[in-house]
Structure 1
């Protein structure tokens, strides 16, 4: 973990196993809105056979407050500069929710550096089918980051799915730290009017799309829209998974991601 300056921004960057030999390219991960590095550290640790790199967005986690707004283009460029700093030429790019939109944009903008793409609980941006209004209203409330009682009371509305196991829920809440108001607002502003729809037919990399069947925030039909637009894509729906199926269905999610990233069939389809 370190503070790194790239593209004129100082960001907190976390790396796992980049100094260890691996048969796989590292994973570049883009997080959900307002979420800090610690929220995803269990995923990075579970993918133990490859490197993993991610950073906190400006004003989120340990990254300093942003001074000027950004957009997917400038932040993808910044991400590429961070990869350059660590000598990484090729990655598998992955993103969840808001970060899934960033992963799409990065893969389109820097296609030569991306081998495969994993999109979790995400949409094509502005042209999306909206979720449950009650969940969206609570999702936008910053109390979910700073008030454990609020988060606990509304966890099922926010994230749906199988949450009967208290330990994963409590562990997730314990890893969250609140973004600054400006940091959160700039993340919302970055995707205002953005859509990947025109570019997705040109996304040639093998792409795994994972959706939660009980996701109240990003309803599953959005995954079908992505799959219809991305030529070499595979859609997997976690049957009773909510927006945080990576947490509540960790073993199934990790197994699905690893099988896809290691699958020679996906590469063969892309070549054809």
Structure 2
């Protein structure tokens, strides 16, 4: 287990500049997969290794991860808005994580990625990444789990925090986000609330049905019964000040996954954004190992 410091504002700017110097901007397009439209983003990279497929958090459009993507210029990155989030319309009926894994596999094939990918999941997307690594083990070479848990059988955050996560107000009311954001996300946001303004600027409020479907996808799901069967080298990253997903969940994941390494970050739930540069260095080193 290792610990890294949260990224500074200067580090974040350095990561952005590196992304610009790479000369590769995020290419956004919509893809129709048998009636389900997905808004996707691809950032070409300079590295010859597998691309990095990212599963984002609940209600989060992929622009929210832009600071992290810009800090990781060498790697090709694939993102998409989950149905009902951002630019991807919600389906008529609810879905499970297994359905989204099939959809992600089809998306990769449609985009021309027939080989392996590395997979990164953030928070809610970390659960989806675990399921993808299990169901599509032939696709997933390495796995990164950031600020996530093993599902419904987890150590929960405080009720006062979780109650704010259920509703959509933090996506639609900037003043409310600024008022509760520090207690909600922890870490650097406790000391520099300007991060909340920048984060909120990129938010696209999820549709009510889409957000509900994301909650239902995770309902009753747990990876604990099969974590020991995952074969991928896995990096478990977690903030030491994460009010939403307590740190003990990361320790459980790292202990249960056979080839896992735990790396602690001196930050909160959004360390991929507030500490983009240092997080990108750690993840880049892991993916190249």
Distance 1:169 1:110, change over 3 A: same
Higher relative contact order (CA 8 A, sep 6+): 2
Name 2:75's counterpart in structure 1.
50
Displacement, 1:51? 0.8
After TM superposition, the score normalised by the length of structure 2 is: 0.87
CA distance in 2 between counterparts of 1:151 and 1:102 reads: 26
Q: Does 1:131 align with 2:179?
A: no
CA distance in 2 between counterparts of 1:7 and 1:259 reads: 37
Q: Does 1:168 align with 2:195?
A: yes
Distance 1:8 1:110, change over 3 A: farther
Name 2:142's counterpart in structure 1.
116
- SS of residue in 1 equivalent to 2:154: coil
Q: Does 1:61 align with 2:82?
A: no
CA distance in 2 between counterparts of 1:6 and 1:79 reads: 10
Distance 1:21 1:46, change over 3 A: closer
CA distance in 2 between counterparts of 1:76 and 1:165 reads: 36
Q: Does 1:22 align with 2:47?
A: yes
Alignment gaps of 5+ in structure 2: 1-27
Displacement, 1:65? 2.5
Alignment gaps of 5+ in structure 1: 264-272
Name 1:266's counterpart in structure 2.
none
The correspondence for 1:192, drawn from 174, 198, 219, is 219
After TM superposition, the score normalised by the length of structure 1 is: 0.92
- SS of residue in 1 equivalent to 2:31: strand
Displacement, 1:247? 1.7
- SS of residue in 2 equivalent to 1:204: coil
CA distance in 1 between counterparts of 2:104 and 2:167 reads: 28
CA distance in 2 between counterparts of 1:34 and 1:151 reads: 14
CA distance in 2 between counterparts of 1:260 and 1:174 reads: 31
CA distance in 2 between counterparts of 1:54 and 1:67 reads: 23
Name 1:227's counterpart in structure 2.
254
Once the two structures are superposed, residues 219-240 of structure 1 have per-residue CA deviations (whole angstroms, 9 ceiling, x without a partner) of: 000001101110000001113x
The correspondence for 1:40, drawn from 58, 65, 69, is 65
Displacement, 1:198? 1.7
- Native 8 Å contact 2:47 2:75 kept in 1: yes
- Native 8 Å contact 2:182 2:193 kept in 1: no
Q: Does 1:147 align with 2:212?
A: no
Once the two structures are superposed, residues 40-63 of structure 1 have per-residue CA deviations (whole angstroms, 9 ceiling, x without a partner) of: 122222211111111111111011
Alignment of 1:193-272 (within 5 A): 193-239=220-266, 241-263=267-289
